[in-house]
Amino acid sequence: MSNQRQASSASQTPHLSPAELSYLYTSLSLPKSPIRPDGRSPTQFRPLTAESNILPGTNGSARIGFADGTQAIVGVKAEVEKTVLSTDTLASGEGGESTAATSGHGSWVQMSIEIPGFRDDDALPVFLSEMMRESLVGAVVEGGDGGGDVMMAGGLKGRLVINKRWHWRLYIDVLLLSQPLSYPLPLLSLTTHLALLSTKLPKLKSQGEEDPFFDDDWEVAEYLYPRGSKLKATSGLASQYVRPPVTLLVVSVGENVIFDPSREEIAVADAVLAISVTRDTEAGNLKLLSIRTIDPPSRLTQPAVPNSENVNMLGATAPTEDIAVLNPATGEEEVPGVWRPRRGGVKRSVIANMIKTVLKKGGVGEEVLEGLEGVEVE
Amino acid sequence: MPLDTSTTYPLTRLRLDGRRWNELRLLQAQISTNPASSGSSYLSMGNTAIMCSVHGPAEGRRGEASGAAGSAGAIVEVDVNVAGFASVDRRRKAGGSDKQSSRIATTLRAAFQSHLHTYLYPHSTISIHVSVLSADGSLLAAAINACTLALVDAGIPMPGLLTGCTSGMSGSASTPRDPRNDELDPLLDLSLPEEQELPFLTVGTTTCVPVGENHMDDEEEETKVAVLNMDSKLHCTYIETMLAVGMDGCNQIRELLEGVIKGSNRG
Amino acid sequence: MATSIPSLAIPGQRLGSANTYAAGPGTHVQQANIFASIAGPVILDPAQPNTQSKATLRVSRVLSAAAQSSPTTASAKSKPRYNTLPAVDSIVLARVTRVQKRQAAVSILVVLDETSAPDADLAKASSDNDNIASILTSAANPENHSSTDELRFQAIIRKEDVRAVEKDRVVMEDMFRVGDIVRGCVLSLGDQTSYYLTTARNDLGVVMARSETGNMIIPLPIASMASGQYALPSDWLEHEDALGSSELHADSSRAATAVALAPNILSVV
């Protein structure tokens, strides 16, 4: 029970003293130029190692290792399955059948997450997998008239349709190799993204409504997410391809927005957001899929006692008055240098700033997507 | 031509994947693959790929591992997880672990609990986490080897390297062995199709022999069988051959693992 | 040295005969031979010249460090520390967390390095005592510890382990109070939850405490006992910062477990 609570409130909090927490908070909340413990800039990510197509026995696979040593492996398997129409779509007649058969169904994508120390049906793995599956199947492309993207009409769900009677079923298995040190969502999301990018389906040889049969040659297999040819990439159209969503972890400390937070940084954050974005085909812009707030662990920390209220320090220090000042980000009165647990709640402008930094052109979201694309090319 | 070993082997003396009877599959291994654990390893034998990470020796959780067992030495915990994408068809688990992985876990726990110098770490727990990424036969043997590497990486004292290997017979071997007309060959390091049709056993051995170039007394060699596991039916006259072949395979694997450990030490 | 020693050991590798060498950390002895238990470079510690002991063979845990081509003879002064876990007979500093009729619960703050000589230990202790205020506000201030206490090793001082004499007259409430810093010796690794400590030695006992009013009390040096202040066994002073005056501590029997530290402790006050 306590284990679960810790994990869901974003990670085993590092055991930091109130003084350390206060120091971290102060340096991270310096206006305009936060000082991070590892000297990164606010939008800089820690180095990570990534490789894809590591398992020959899967349709697509990837491994990502984060700087803190946590690693995840994702394998994607696809199976052909007969489309079974539910009774109510049958009842609604010919029209209903065709929509179900062309637009696909969300349940065709199955996701399971295994985290050491958790059972399959524990809250955290179930919650995480549903959260990621949702954004995967939810990312429907409207129109789908963007050049080579006819295949992606209807998003991932539509891509899985073979014909009216058959469809692909996608199993995404996520394996976390060690106990999560921080909230595992970004790691899992990036690895899943990479695995899906490398996923190939065998080339269909049958046509129309025949029972499907496939080309044996794995060389001619097609990517699940179509990739731009070299020609298109040079002409700058590569960004028009649909990509699986990625989820980024963003924290705010004071008025600063910080990406790829380390465990210590999460521990003092005012707000922790998991922001899912995907690439919109229409304009090549990023599209916001979902935002989730994650319970910041700083809520559970112990408050510090100002010298003025500390019996033990009576007379031990010079009688300087501690002056409470208003924290501009949270609107609470605080004594500088004395840790107060964050009670949640940040200003709307801070949240808006977080989202803007992810979404804007040339912003962090684009940078991450491009970086992941690069893994595959090599 | 039917693709199974028992019909093609007598004709070609080659197995399905082109190996001879006494050949191991390609063994590749790495240690210190996961910096977040005390020790970790990656090992592949043919298409069987396993990652293993060791945590500890660490303070055991309260309540469990209590009493006499805890004070005598460290408790070894093994957790085996066969990934859903490991085999050819995606296997769906009905919440929790299945029979195969829990059997492997039990065998590994028993083997390493008695093998390691656990008496040095009373009141503590050594937990081993095995992830099977790709399953193509000899799972238990590969898991033993991966665990050994990860435990060496974690610096947990042991009397010697514990290595595992499978061996089988190239036929059903249900009748007594006929010395004049002996057409069955023992096979080393079985792959999944071979495991499914042929009788096989898994053997794990450890040794305290002087290894490498520092031989002092060659005749003092002393190999101990630490793990022996067999699920298939076979006439007892064949057992000895299979065991000998398997132990020979263990020695070959031990030399390979020593190379891996030395290689990563130099690097 | 009849046989060569391998530079790099692998578990199960024979390193030498137990007649020639002594087995150090990372090795085990089987059938009069020394075998490596862990992988790593082999280090030969030369025998102490004045003793009859043999040279010690050990295997180092430093895996990635450049493995020397020949067995290194490392100097004994850079002895690697294997862990900081309390072992039987190690001296620890612990803080009292609970006092019961039959036992006191403490949490171990520091495991003292047993290799350092006792006099060096004392010097270190006195230098640490120089900033008593900071130690007391950090270590003995109960407010700081509510969250970190459970991370430390828990230990128990049983009533009969408090002192060597008059064991049956011990009253735990008079010996310890929550927040006191105790210097103790590990008796046994105990049960699943806690170590067992003893203070039944002259150099062990409460080394730092506060009075009920929150002021520091410090043990008086032995010298002052001799000079006529023998009203109380081995005395404690309550130190008033504001006044700068000293008064005798009220519950004097607490001092039975107290240690008279280095004489320079008074000069600090």
Q: What is the pLDDT of residue A344?
A: 62
For residue A274, being part of any structural domain is answered with yes
pLDDT tens readout for residues C219-262:
665 444 434 333 333 445 544 433 333 333 334 444 434 443 33
Q: Average the pLDDT over C49-68 and give the result.
A: 66
Residue type, A307: N
Q: Is the peptide bond before A328 cis (omega within 30 degrees of 0)?
A: no
Domains for chain B: give ranges and CATH numbers.
13-266 (3.30.230.70)
Q: Which pTM value belongs to this model?
A: 0.73
* C neighbours by CB contacts (3+ pairs under 8 Å): A, B
CA pair distance A124, A184, nearest whole angstrom: 10
Host domain of residue A339: 15-44+245-378
- State which of A35-44, C107-116, C149-158 shows the largest mean pLDDT: A35-44
Asked if A371 and A259 sit in the same domain, the reply is yes
Q: Give the mutation candidate from B85, B97, B153 for the A interface (greatest A CB count, under 10 A).
A: B85
Asked if A165 and A261 sit in the same domain, the reply is no
What residue spans of A29-106 are helical by DSSP H?
A: 87-91, 94-103
Question: In Å, how far is A304's CA from the nearest CA of chain C?
Answer: 8
Q: What is the pLDDT of residue A99?
A: 52
Residue of B nearest to A76 (CA): B85
Q: Give the mutation candidate from C107, C131, C134, C141 for the A interface (greatest A CB count, under 10 A).
A: C141
Residue B214 has its nearest CB partner, among C4, C64, C191, at: C4
Question: In Å, how far is C253's CA from the nearest CA of chain A?
Answer: 25
With contacts defined as CB-CB under 8 Å, which chain A residues touch C150?
A: none
B81, B101 Cβ separation under 8 angstroms: yes
Asked if A235 and A299 sit in the same domain, the reply is no
Asked if A54 and A195 sit in the same domain, the reply is yes
For residue A99, being part of any structural domain is answered with yes
Asked if A156 and A268 sit in the same domain, the reply is no
Q: Average the pLDDT over A314-334 and give the result.
A: 58
User: DSSP letter at A138?
Assistant: H
Strand ranges (DSSP E) for chain A?
A: 49-52, 60-65, 71-82, 109-114, 166-176, 200-201, 222-223, 246-253, 256-259, 271-279, 286-294, 325-326, 333-334
Distances (CA, A) of A307 to A22, A314, C236: 14, 8, 28
Q: What share of chain C is helix, strand, coil (3-state, %, to 5)?
A: 20, 30, 50
Q: What is the pLDDT of residue B167?
A: 94
Residue C189 has its nearest CB partner, among B122, B208, B266, at: B122
pLDDT tens readout for residues A273-289:
888 888 766 556 788 88
Question: In Å, how far is B151's CA from the nearest CA of chain A?
Answer: 16
Asked if A205 and A62 sit in the same domain, the reply is yes
Range with lowest mean pLDDT among A223-237, A328-342, B155-169, C31-45: A223-237
Indicate whether A326 pLDDT > 70: no
Count how many domains chain A has: 2
Query: What is the percentage of chain A residues whose pLDDT exceeds 90?
Result: 3
Question: In Å, how far is C214's CA from the nearest CA of chain A?
Answer: 7
Q: What is the pLDDT of residue B50?
A: 94
Asked if A70 and A28 sit in the same domain, the reply is no
For residue A345, being part of any structural domain is answered with yes
* Side-chain-facing half-sphere of B266: CA atoms under 13 Å: 7
Range with lowest mean pLDDT among A21-30, B85-94, C13-22: B85-94
Q: What is the pLDDT of residue A12?
A: 52
Distant-in-sequence, close-in-space partners of A301: CB < 8 Å, separation ≥ 6: A13, A16, A18, A21, A267, A339, A341, C147
Residue type, B109: R
Pick from A240, A256, A282: which residue ends a domain?
A: A240
- State which of A55-69, A329-343, C128-142 shows the largest mean pLDDT: A55-69
Work out the burial of residue A5: count CB atoms within 10 Å of its CB; fewer than 13 is exposed, 13-18 middle, 19 or more buried: exposed
**CATH 2.40.50.100 residue window(s) in chain C:** 8-78
For residue A156, being part of any structural domain is answered with yes
Distant-in-sequence, close-in-space partners of A143: CB < 8 Å, separation ≥ 6: A281, A282
Write the CATH number for A144.
3.30.230.70
With contacts defined as CB-CB under 8 Å, which chain C residues touch A18?
A: 144
Asked if A291 and A169 sit in the same domain, the reply is no
pLDDT tens readout for residues A91-122:
444 444 445 556 677 788 888 888 877 777 78
* B neighbours by CB contacts (3+ pairs under 8 Å): A, C
What is the architecture of the domain spanning C8-78?
Beta Barrel (2.40)
Phi, psi torsion values for A30, nearest 5 degrees: -55, 130
Asked if A117 and A177 sit in the same domain, the reply is yes
With contacts defined as CB-CB under 8 Å, which chain A residues touch C138?
A: none
Q: Which residues of A125-156 are buried (b: 16+ CB within 10 A; e: fewer)?
A: beebbebbbbbbbbbbbeebebeebeebbbbb
Query: What is the percentage of chain C residues whose pLDDT exceeds 90?
Result: 6
Asked if A162 and A80 sit in the same domain, the reply is yes
pLDDT tens readout for residues A132-156:
888 887 765 544 444 444 455 567 7
Pick from A213, A240, A267: which residue ends a domain?
A: A240
Q: Which residue has the higher pLDDT, C63 or B43?
A: B43
Asked if A319 and A205 sit in the same domain, the reply is no
For residue A141, being part of any structural domain is answered with yes
- Using an 8 Å CB-CB cutoff, list residues of chain C that contact chain A: 133, 136-137, 141, 143-144, 146-148, 151, 214, 241-242
For residue A288, being part of any structural domain is answered with yes
Indicate whether C169 pLDDT > 60: yes
Q: Which residue has the higher pLDDT, C151 or C130?
A: C151
Q: What is the pLDDT of residue B201?
A: 93
**CATH 2.40.50.140 residue window(s) in chain C:** 91-268
Q: What is the pLDDT of residue A328?
A: 60
Asked if A109 and A34 sit in the same domain, the reply is no
Q: What share of chain A is helix, strand, coil (3-state, %, to 5)?
A: 35, 20, 45
Residue B85 has its nearest CB partner, among A57, A69, A181, at: A57
Of the options 3.40.50.620, 3.30.460.80, 2.40.50.140, 2.60.40.1220, the CATH number for the domain spanning C91-268:
2.40.50.140
Residue A302 has its nearest CB partner, among C146, C151, C241, at: C146
For residue A224, being part of any structural domain is answered with yes
Question: In Å, how far is B153's CA from the nearest CA of chain C?
Answer: 8
Q: What is the pLDDT of residue C114?
A: 54
Indicate whether A6 pLDDT > 50: no
CA pair distance A278, A273, nearest whole angstrom: 16
For residue A3, being part of any structural domain is answered with no
Sign (positive/negative) of CA torsion C29, C35, C38, C42?
A: positive
Q: CA-based diameter of chain A, in Å?
A: 90
Pick from A240, A260, A279: which residue ends a domain?
A: A240
Q: What is the pLDDT of residue B185?
A: 86
- Does the beta-carbon distance from C147 to A310 stay under 8 Å? no
Residue B34 has its nearest CB partner, among A69, A173, A175, at: A69
- Would you write out chain B's pLDDT as a tens digit for each of its 267 residues? 466 777 788 888 888 888 888 899 999 999 988 887 889 999 999 999 999 999 878 876 655 545 555 567 888 999 888 888 888 777 765 545 678 888 999 999 999 999 999 888 877 889 999 999 998 989 999 999 999 999 999 999 998 899 999 999 888 777 887 777 777 889 999 999 889 889 999 999 987 654 444 444 444 567 888 999 998 888 888 999 999 999 999 999 999 999 999 887 654
